[in-house]
Amino acid sequence: MFCEKAMELVRELHRAPEGQLPAFNEDGLRQVLEEMKALYEQNQSDVCLQMEWFNHYKKSLATYMRSLGGDEGLDITQDMKPPKSLYIEVRCIKDYGEFEVDDGTSVLLKKNSQVFLVLRYFKSYEC
Amino acid sequence: MSEAYFRVESGALGPEENFLSLDDILMSHEKLPVRTETPMPRLGAFFLERSGGAETDHAIPQGSKLELPLWLTKGLFDNKRRILSVELPKIYQQGWRTVFSADANVVDLHKLGPHFYGFGSQLLHFDNPENADISQCLLQGFEEHEMGCLWRPAQGRLWNHGGCWGDWKPKETRRCQ
């Protein structure tokens, strides 16, 4: 367990007189390389499992996002933090004209103008 | 070229041990007590008496107490302690620290652990509340030992100490790191 064979090799070198190398321990080295190979292969198979899980997760998330917000779906990964305020500052990328808000007031949405609007009107926006 | 190779010196007193230093490799293999904070699948293959057995995929349950080498503990530790929490080995705890600070030269460091200072320095990585005291104790002890090295050249015990400094040879004027 825990690379005992490798530690033996290190101790062998550590014991050697200053500046000299002991004879090459081919057998010891081979055992260590085999142990490394076995660990690596176990690790690989673990990684495969994780990849499978992740692909499944990705698909579930994509399906869910597509099912929200009408035809286009909603990208919920856009905002990972909850909003700090109710309002959002928005810049219009094209002329829309008058936009009527819940309380009856309307806002003129012209290209490149910036306005404050209530957060829930937006699925995707430029900040 | 008179020597076949040159040893890489220990870095254990600094922030990290040196990857190629034999002293540091040996030091880092020493074990310390840990507690698992999350179940660990497949680790049971190395700890058969703790393992849940083949049916559980050799999992080690949460809350198990194990001894792991320092290098592995450092690799798994995070400051939120989600994977492991680390206990101080006895010789770095309050009781021993008191003995040590009374007179560092009284304590036989080689018996306590051949890499007392290096290992102790690396222990500071684990965010223990006693870290300030530990580092103070190590520093003080080291100063006393170094003074002892200068003023007591004939005492066998200090010279055979070995420790994380490699071998202290009376003839060398090279100072311990």
> Does residue B149 have a pLDDT over 70?
no
Spatial contact of A19 and B6, defined as CB atoms under 8 Å apart:
yes
Asked if B23 lies within 8 A of A2 by C-beta distance, the reply is: no
User: B32-52, pLDDT tens digit by residue?
Assistant: 999 999 988 888 878 777 777
Q: Do A13 and B22 touch (CB under 8 A)?
A: yes
**Counting one residue from A and one from B, how many pairs have CB atoms under 8 Å apart?**
30
Tell me whether residues B46 and A46 touch, CB distance under 8 A: no
Q: Note the pLDDT of residue B175.
A: 38
A14 touches chain B (CB under 8 A): yes
Write the CA distances from B60 to B26, B37, B42, B68, integer angstroms: 26, 10, 7, 13
Q: Is some CB atom of chain B closer than 8 A to the CB atom of A23?
A: no
Run means of pLDDT, 10 residues per run, chain A, 127 residues: 85 85 90 92 89 94 84 77 75 77 75 72 48
Q: Do A14 and B2 touch (CB under 8 A)?
A: no
Q: What is the CA radius of gyration of chain A?
A: 31
Q: What is the pLDDT of residues B60-83, one digit of tens each?
A: 889 999 999 999 999 999 888 789
Domains by residue range for chain B, with CATH: 1-87 (1.20.58.2050), 89-159 (1.20.58.2050)
pLDDT score for B123: 92
Cβ–Cβ of A2/B26 closer than 8 Å? Answer: no
Lowest mean pLDDT among B26-30, B94-98, B149-153: B149-153
Measured between alpha carbons, how far is B81 from B95 in angstroms, rounded to an integer?
Answer: 25
Is A118:A101 a contact under the CB 8 Å cutoff?
yes
CA distance B132 to B127: 10
For the cut 90, the answer to whether the pLDDT of residue B122 exceeds it is: yes
ipTM of the prediction greater than 0.85, yes or no? no
Please give, rounded to a whole number of angstroms, the shortest distance from the CA of B57 to a CA of chain A.
Answer: 12
Report the residue from B2, B23, B46 with minimal CB separation from A1. Answer: B46
Give start and end residues of each alpha helix (H) in A68-83: none
Which residues in chain A have Cβ-Cβ distances shorter than 8 Å to B25?
A: 7, 10
10 Å Cβ neighbour count for A90?
19
Flag if A20 and B4 touch (Cβ within 8 Å). Answer: yes
- From A1, which residue of chain B is nearest by alpha-carbon distance? B46
Predicted pLDDT at B113: 62
DSSP readout, A28-64?
Answer: HHHHHHHHHHHHHHHHHHHHHHHHHHHHHHHHHHHHH
